């Protein structure tokens, strides 16, 4: 039996759906063939056959009308399910003009289908061909204009369908499969998206922590929390791969909530272990913080900031222990909403850092009114600092600018002692990079700090003394 709720299998002769049914999922055909047909009086007029690599059922998904035709499994088939929510997330974000075009296209397509239904009672086969072509064209355009996304629905269908003879199907066009690369890409994106939803709930995500050091005191100032996905079969998946998937699908909101909750809880215990340690306490700032990355989509969750404060209160962390990292592009995506949310956070004591500073498209004019207290200089400026003096000049200018605006600076991607020396000379405030530590699980943090500040005494040589 098939265990994956996102895959449905139908045996030959079963209805998938019938005209008038609510259309809450679309299907990508992985194996087998499906015929789309119109019921005409007592009979049925097949419109098109969908084989492996093709997509159908998307109309009702996009315009939220009932199914206008019926679908029947011609052979045993295996179908991948795409949910309405996945399409809606995307169409809601689409250009309003594109949305308008889609709705007009759908309206026209349905009107044509109704006309076709009215003329099918015994119309000549030849007369149907141009209409079919038109339908196919419109359906293809709708598929191209929409994006692919998923989710499951019980495959319960009514009994056996009337027999469709080989003769009935001889003149029916085979729908062209989606271009192989696009089909594979869509499947990969669908799989990743579905699995990520499961992963968040099944506890496959982990937070790793990368230390951020204060230059002036050489003490540990805080950590950046960086999400990791440990997939049960594929192993480690990089955030560069799945964070964009989470952003596109809207799962990011659930993920960020999870991250904030875990980061605050884990900071409480790391803080207790580090500050309470007899020889480490002096090397750790009392107001140790954790930085969490936010995406633009997070700011559409109007309850998120309220949730942040609930988490801070329930974990017992002072608000200054939380830093929110946003990139310039997040700030520019919807300046008012983002600004409002960040100001509310700062008013309650949390702080805000602009991540990857210098790489986004932002104007300097907004810097002075920016709701942030820290600039994180992108590693793309730090790494070539010693081989290209223009990068050194840029780093120096950013630090100078930040200081004049009463903002702190963090240099990202610090990999060498030479970097440390230069950034100390430039009076950067904080450093983060592989030179100090790679991101690590919270269980490794204490051992890392002990190796750095409290190495075990060297074993005594028994022949000495
Ligand atoms: P970011 O927020 O700028 O994070 C810094 C990235 O630089 C991390 O990559 C970190 O491992 C890497 N890095 C730190 N020091 C060095 C260094 O010295 N050299 C080099 N070469 N790299 C260094 P990571 O963890 O792969 O994360 C990549 C990006 O994915 C992050 O960039 C961030 O944009 C995103 N990301 C990671 N975790 C989260 C998260 O929890 N939420 C969200 N929304 N995005 C996240
Ligand atoms: Mg960051
Ligand atoms: Mg960064």
Query: Three-state SS string across 242-261, please?
Result: HHHHHHHHCCHHHHHHHHHH
pLDDT at 449 over 90: yes
From the alpha carbon of 207, which atom of ligand 1 is closest?
41
Cβ–ligand 1 distance for 290 under 6 Å, the answer no
Nearest CA to ligand 1 atom 17: 413
Our mutation pick for probing the ligand 1 site, out of 236, 239, 359, 438, counting the most ligand atoms within 8 A of Cβ, is 239
Torsion (CA) 285, 288, 293, 294 in degrees, nearest 10: -130
pLDDT at 120 exceeding the cut of 50: yes
Name which of 15-24, 135-144, 320-329, 440-449 the model is least confident about: 135-144
Query: Is the beta carbon of 442 within 6 A of some atom in ligand 1?
Result: no
Q: Look at ligand 1, atom 22, and give the residue with the nearest C-alpha.
A: 413
Superfamily of domain 7-178: Jelly Rolls (2.60.120.10)
CA distance linking residue 49 with residue 290, whole number of Å: 55
For the chain, count helices (H), then strands (E).
Answer: 15, 18
Q: Model-level pTM greater than 0.85?
A: no
- The band of 207, judged by pLDDT with boundaries at 50, 70 and 90, is very high
Read off φ and ψ for residue 216, nearest 5 degrees: -65, -35
At 158, the pLDDT band (50, 70, 90 cuts) reads low
Ligand 1 atom at minimal distance to the Cα of residue 294: 44
Question: Ligand 1: which residue has its CA nearest to atom 20?
Answer: 413
Q: Assess whether the C-beta atom of 356 lies below 6 angstroms from ligand 1.
A: yes
Most confident of 86-95, 146-155, 170-179, 288-297: 288-297
Question: How does pLDDT run across 259-318, given as a tens digit for each residue?
Answer: 999 999 999 999 999 999 999 999 999 999 999 999 988 988 888 888 998 999 999 999
Q: Is the C-beta atom of 355 inside 6 A of ligand 1?
A: yes
Ligand 3: centre distance to CA 376 (Å)? 7
Average pLDDT for 353-369: 80
**Least confident among 95-104, 115-124, 324-333:** 115-124
Q: Which amino acid residue places its CA nearest to atom 43 of ligand 1?
A: 293
For residues 136 and 113, is the Cβ–Cβ distance under 8 A?
no
Distance CA 436, CA 414 (A): 8
- Residue 10 pLDDT exceeds 50: yes
* Average pLDDT of every residue of the chain: 83
For the Cβ of 212 lying below 6 angstroms from any atom of ligand 1, the answer is no
Q: What is the pLDDT of residue 126?
A: 41
Record: fold of 184-453? TIM Barrel (3.20.20)
Match 């000549």 to its residue by tokens: 124
Residue ranges covered by each domain of the chain:
7-178, 184-453
Question: Which ligand sits nearest to residue 200's alpha carbon?
Answer: 1
């Amino acid at each position: 039996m098939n265990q994956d709720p996102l895959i449905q299998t139908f045996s030959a002769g079963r209805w998938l759906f019938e005209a008038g049914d609510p259309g809450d999922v679309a299907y990508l055909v992985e194996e087998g063939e499906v015929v789309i047909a119109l019921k005409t009086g007592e009979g049925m007029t097949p419109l098109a056959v969908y084989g492996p690599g093709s997509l159908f059922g998307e109309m009702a998904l996009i315009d939220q009308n009932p199914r206008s035709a019926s679908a029947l499994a011609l052979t045993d088939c295996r179908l991948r399910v795409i949910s309405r929510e996945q399409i809606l997330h995307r169409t809601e974000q689409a250009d309003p003009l594109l949305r308008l075009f889609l709705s007009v296209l759908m309206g026209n397509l349905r009107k044509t289908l109704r006309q076709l239904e009215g003329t099918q009672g015994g119309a000549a086969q030849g007369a149907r061909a141009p209409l079919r072509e038109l339908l196919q064209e419109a359906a293809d355009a709708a598929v191209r204009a929409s994006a692919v996304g998923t989710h499951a629905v019980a495959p319960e269908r009514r009994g056996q369908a009337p027999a469709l003879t080989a003769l009935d199907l001889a003149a029916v066009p085979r729908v062209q499969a989606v271009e192989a690369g696009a089909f594979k890409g869509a499947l990969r994106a669908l799989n990743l998206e579905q699995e990520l939803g499961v992963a968040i709930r099944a506890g496959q995500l982990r937070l790793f922590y990368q230390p951020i050091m204060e230059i002036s005191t050489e003490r540990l100032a805080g950590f950046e929390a960086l999400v990791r996905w440990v997939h049960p079969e594929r192993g480690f998946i990089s955030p560069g791969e799945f964070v964009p998937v989470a952003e596109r699908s809207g799962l990011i909101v659930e993920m960020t909530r999870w991250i904030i909750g875990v980061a605050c809880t884990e900071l409480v215990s790391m803080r207790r272990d580090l500050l309470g340690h007899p020889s480490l306490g002096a090397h750790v700032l009392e107001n140790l913080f954790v930085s969490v990355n936010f995406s633009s989509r997070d700011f559409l969750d109007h309850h998120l900031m309220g949730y942040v404060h609930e988490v801070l209160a329930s974990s017992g962390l002072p608000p200054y222990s939380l830093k929110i990292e946003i990139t310039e592009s997040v700030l520019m995506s919807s300046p008012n909403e983002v600004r409002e949310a960040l100001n509310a956070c700062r008013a309650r004591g949390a702080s805000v850092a602009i991540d990857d500073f210098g790489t986004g498209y932002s104007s300097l004019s907004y810097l002075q009114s920016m709701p942030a207290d820290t600039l994180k200089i992108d590693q793309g400026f730090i790494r070539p600092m010693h081989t290209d003096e223009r990068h050194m000049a840029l780093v120096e200018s950013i630090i100078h600018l930040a200081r004049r605006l009463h903002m702190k600076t963090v240099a990202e991607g610090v990999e060498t002692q030479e970097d440390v020396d230069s950034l100390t000379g430039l009076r950067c405030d904080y450093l983060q990079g592989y030179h100090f530590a790679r991101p690590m699980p919270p269980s490794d943090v204490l051992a890392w700090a002990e190796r750095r500040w409290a190495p075990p005494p060297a074993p005594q040589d028994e022949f000495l003394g």
